[in-house]
Structure 1
Amino acid sequence: MSNELIINGSPNDCRIALLKDRLLEEFHQEKGGNKFHVGDIYLGTVRKIVPGLNAAFIDIGYEKDAFLHYLDLGPQVRSLNKFSRLAQSKKNSSPKLAGFKSEPDINKLGKINQVLSKGHQVLVQVVKEPISTKGPRLTCELSLAGRYIVLVPFSNSVSISKKVTNKEERRRLVRLLTSIKPENFGIIIRTVAEGKDVAELDRDLGDLVGKWEKGIRALRTAKPKDKVIGEMGRASSILRDVLSESFDSIYTDDRDMYGEIKSYIGTIAPDKEKIVKHYNGKAKIFEHFGIEKQLKSLFGQTVSLRNGGYLVIEHTEALHVIDVNSGNKSNSESNQETTALKVNLGAATEIARQLRLRDMGGIIIIDFIDMKSPENKRMLFEKMKEFMKPDRSKFTILPLTKFGLMQITRQRVRPELNIVTKEKCPTCNGTGKIQASILITDQVEKSLKHILTQQNEKDITIALHPFLHAYYTRGLISKRLKWYFQYRRWVNLVADTSLPVTEYRFHNKDGDVIEI
């Protein structure tokens, strides 16, 4: 399986696509105007205390005040406040935590007005970006994410990812990191640290400690709303989290980003530096790799499945609803139960992919095709968990209810990605909407293949718009000639000016319309 990262950079935004075997698996879009990223640490000012919510609203420079709940303060918030006050007053000349005397932990059931007051300045970290009408969500439990570890100031614990299952390896990593970690820093060991030697882990730890100390030095002269420690760009953070031995290449069309990524890869994985390549082809980078067409087909309300079924995805204010349909081509199985299972398993694969692609969060309700067999329901539940494993967001999956519904909750830390996939109709000039016209040729060829191979029709005529007629017939080796070599049957094409560019009709030898 090939893994490729394609990055399209421009002055205003950055688009990042992760391809597996040339199929789009993840898509991220970073707007130039959005400066509040998950992981950024700001010097905020308490604007308002709300005892009824046991929370505070913090000004970090966004148009809406950010939200900080008491449970997000963290047990060591008093130590954080004390240390930041010392840094700002310049009484503490060292940014290191070694020798710093920690304050007692706060009460888990306490009130926020016992810890914070209006006008109080506090270091806060963004854990959820602004979504819809809400401002960012904050925490005072600061953490700095690296390639192999996460550094947690004002803590002394060492914990490890549950995905590292080998007991010996767990003990080795905990023992190793405990021996090298600085005083008053806690560590969370990430899954990718498995099998790594002490030199790599120590280098990652040193980078994070250096990042913390640089931020504390900046805090001495920082003003309210200033960013003290910034998370790396989206491209670098994705590389940090997903880069593995299976990565084949990273392409970018932006010269500055090429240098930044190459430098970052050289730091975290010097042996992979050669996979970073600068794209300078004539076609746009997303066109060259076929990403634009995939975006148009994958972000619509209706998503086709490989086995002939399709999904209908609806978004509401409170939740997302996904309906699974078998379509009219999923009839190759011997009985209804087997057909339902096959379509549901294919839908589960695509749904897991869609959740990552669109970054859908909150509550997701999936209406699968009804199945009677408890074994089949259990299999679908287990497969759904398997397909969701690559997802880096936290999620919970519940078994199918007696109504055939599956419920999923998925953590949402950024606004959901939405790409417009509908266009103005060239016939009605915008009074209605059509599916993206870029997909019409794919639909024609898919229908043709089904009619010739599944329905075994012999003499086919396709009536279509003159634009499409020219597309299939022009050239020395036309598209129609390629069909002949592929299917060993000649397909008649008729230009019909009465048809819109996005419509076509198949006729049999008697001139009757073939239903698809």
Structure 2
Amino acid sequence: MNKELIINAAPAGVEIALLEDKKLVELHNEKADANFAVGDLYLGKVKKLIPGLNAAFVDVGFEKDAFLHYTDLSPYARSIIKFTQMAMNDKDEKGFDFSKFQSEPEIIKTGKINEVLNGKPNVLVQILKEPIAAKGPRLSCEISLPGRFVVVTPFNEIVAVSKKIHSSEERKRLHKIVEAIRPKNFGVIVRTAAEGKTTAELHQDLLALIESWQTIQKNLKGATAPVRVMSEENKTTSILRDLLSADFNKIVVNDKNLFAVTQQYIQRIAPDKTDIVSLYNNGLPIFDQFGVTKQVKSSFGKTVNLPSGAYLIIEHTEALHVIDVNSGYKSVSNNQEDNALGTNLEAAEEIARQLRLRDIGGIIVVDFIDMKLPDNKRKVQEAMEAFMKTDRAKHSVLPVSKFGLLQITRQRMRPEVNINTSEACPVCNGTGKISSTLLLEDEIEKRLNYLVTSSHKNLTLVVHPIVHSHLTKGFFSSIIKKWKKKFRIKLKAQANTNYQLIEFRFFDEHDEEIKF
């Protein structure tokens, strides 16, 4: 699988598109004035304790107080509160030695929030979820500092190795290395990317994270809550940190400063891959050049068309997302069960992509086309699980029910990505909405492909004069000529002034309209 990162820098912020085999799978938007990103650390002030919820509201500088539940306090909550007070009141210029810090007893899992945060102290917290809708950020006291190969968790002595590393010998090797290089009062989680790495590489990554912790300790000195103590790396470098692998073959940036930062980061974490970073300075917008704009237009919106003619309807309610799978005019065989299975498998792949692309979280209910055979239902569930393996968000997929419904839960980390794919209709002057005209050519070609498979070899396409001009532009290189050559058919285009701009119809050799 080839991965490409296309980075579009603009005054309002940075847009990042992740392509897998040229297909858009993730779209990130980092605003220039973005605050409260997942992973940011804040010195917060406890404002209100809610015993009924076993939670607290904490002021971190957002317009609405952030939410901290007892289960997110961390077993070492008392140690964190003690450390926060010590760091804030520290008079030593170099800062106190964290390796000599005496940890407090762990809190119990079934305790009460007012037993731990009584007195409403200042406390070091980490953003667990960005503000969503009318809710403030969700916080955690389980501080973690992620690196390329390891994640550092202060205040404990635990060493854990990713379960995705299947070799028991490799797991033992990594555990032994980290146990030997780990400083006192720091726990370490070994990431999947550490598989096969040397002691020197792991040690270098660990030292960089320890240095970050020392910076946090320094920033707390004399600080007044609420204040941000340390930011997560920018979106570009955090994506590279988590995703960079042998599959990555291109990173394209359209800004000189961001290009330099990206190149330096790659040089630090993967020197052998520095040459994959390139600066884009063509006149065409970078997202247009690499086909991102077109994929955004076709991938967002209520209806998502699939290459075969099937389509999805994606709708959002207050409680969950509902995805309906429709076969459209797709027909792979005369057997209804085979048709349903084929369409459902194709839909499962696109649904997995849509969940990542739109960053849909919470409960998702998928209404697949009804299948009678239990084996086919199991195949769809297994396919869904396989397609979602590349999804970094925590998720769970339940079996297809007897009603043909499949339920998915997916971790919600930040607001869902919504992009308006409608544009003002030139016929009604914006009083209604039409699908983006950018996709009209693709839609005609899909219908044409279906007609060819249905043994139609002599066709007439009737369209609006403006579209006719676009399709027939260039005597030898027109789109109509291209389609004739591609599908090996007789095809002619006719203009009709009575048609709306995006209206088109096909007629056979007897001038009879072909209905879909």
TM-score (norm 2): 0.97
Give 1:197's aligned residue: 198
1:395–1:411 Cα contact (<8 Å) kept: yes
SS in 2 for 1:78: helix
CA deviations 1:123-177 (Å, max 9, x no partner) are: 1000000001000000111010111111000010001111111111111111110
2:3–2:19 Cα contact (<8 Å) kept: yes
Q: Distance in 2 between matches of 1:313 and 1:488?
A: 36
Give 1:455's aligned residue: 454
Q: Does 1:134 align with 2:140?
A: no
**Do the aligned partners of residues 298 and 193 (structure 1) sit closer, same or farther apart at CA in structure 2, a change above 3 Å counting?**
same
2:332–2:342 Cα contact (<8 Å) kept: no
Q: Distance in 2 between matches of 1:377 and 1:488?
A: 38
1:95–1:213 Cα contact (<8 Å) kept: no
Give 1:76's aligned residue: 76
Q: Distance in 2 between matches of 1:67 and 1:334?
A: 56
Q: 1:113 offset after TM fit, Å?
A: 1.2
Q: 1:204 offset after TM fit, Å?
A: 0.5
**Code of the aligned partner of 1:341:** L
**Do the aligned partners of residues 237 and 76 (structure 1) sit closer, same or farther apart at CA in structure 2, a change above 3 Å counting?**
same
1:148–1:192 Cα contact (<8 Å) kept: yes
Q: 1:414 offset after TM fit, Å?
A: 0.4
Q: Distance in 2 between matches of 1:222 and 1:24?
A: 43
Q: Does 1:57 align with 2:53?
A: no
Q: 1:298 offset after TM fit, Å?
A: 0.5
**Do the aligned partners of residues 450 and 133 (structure 1) sit closer, same or farther apart at CA in structure 2, a change above 3 Å counting?**
same
Q: Distance in 2 between matches of 1:344 and 1:511?
A: 35
SS in 1 for 2:98: coil
RMSD of aligned alpha carbons: 1.3
Q: Distance in 2 between matches of 1:118 and 1:256?
A: 46
Give 1:273's aligned residue: 274
Q: Distance in 1 between matches of 2:96 and 2:194?
A: 27
Q: 1:192 offset after TM fit, Å?
A: 0.9
Q: Distance in 2 between matches of 1:276 and 1:459?
A: 48
Q: Distance in 2 between matches of 1:351 and 1:459?
A: 36
Q: Does 1:514 align with 2:514?
A: yes
Query: Structure 2: any 5+ residue segments left out of the alignment?
Result: none
CA deviations 1:339-380 (Å, max 9, x no partner) are: 111111111111111100000000000111111111111121
1:49–1:118 Cα contact (<8 Å) kept: no
Q: 1:455 offset after TM fit, Å?
A: 2.4
**Code of the aligned partner of 2:174:** L
2:309–2:327 Cα contact (<8 Å) kept: yes
Give 2:444's aligned residue: 444
Q: Distance in 1 between matches of 2:141 and 2:456?
A: 67
1:361–1:411 Cα contact (<8 Å) kept: yes
Q: 1:383 offset after TM fit, Å?
A: 1.6
Give 2:391's aligned residue: 391
Q: 1:430 offset after TM fit, Å?
A: 2.0
Give 1:467's aligned residue: 466
Question: Which aligned pairs between 1:113-512 and structure 2 lie closer than 5 A?
Answer: 113-117=114-118, 119-329=120-330, 331-451=331-451, 453-477=452-476, 478-512=478-512
Q: Distance in 2 between matches of 1:486 and 1:361?
A: 41
Q: Distance in 2 between matches of 1:196 and 1:95?
A: 32
Q: Distance in 1 between matches of 2:70 and 2:95?
A: 29
Q: 1:95 offset after TM fit, Å?
A: 4.9
SS in 1 for 2:493: strand
Q: Using the TM superposition, name which of 483-492 and 460-469 deviates more.
A: 483-492
1:39–1:125 Cα contact (<8 Å) kept: yes
Q: Using the TM superposition, name which of 334-343 and 314-323 deviates more.
A: 334-343
Structure 1 stretches of 4+ moved >4 Å: none
Q: Distance in 2 between matches of 1:404 and 1:474?
A: 47
Q: Distance in 2 between matches of 1:347 and 1:32?
A: 36
Q: Using the TM superposition, name which of 488-497 and 29-38 deviates more.
A: 488-497
1:369–1:404 Cα contact (<8 Å) kept: yes
**Code of the aligned partner of 1:76:** Y
Q: Using the TM superposition, name which of 109-118 and 405-414 deviates more.
A: 109-118
Q: Distance in 2 between matches of 1:378 and 1:46?
A: 49
Give 2:22's aligned residue: 22
1:96–1:213 Cα contact (<8 Å) kept: no
CA deviations 1:461-480 (Å, max 9, x no partner) are: 21111111111112242222
Query: Structure 1: any 5+ residue segments left out of the alignment?
Result: none
CA deviations 1:201-223 (Å, max 9, x no partner) are: 11110110001101111110322
CA deviations 1:437-491 (Å, max 9, x no partner) are: 110011112212222x212223322111111111111224222222333334342
**Code of the aligned partner of 1:253:** N
Q: 1:389 offset after TM fit, Å?
A: 0.6
**Do the aligned partners of residues 95 and 424 (structure 1) sit closer, same or farther apart at CA in structure 2, a change above 3 Å counting?**
farther
Q: Distance in 2 between matches of 1:165 and 1:335?
A: 41
Q: 1:119 offset after TM fit, Å?
A: 4.6
Q: Distance in 2 between matches of 1:398 and 1:96?
A: 49
SS in 2 for 1:98: helix
Q: 1:118 offset after TM fit, Å?
A: 5.5
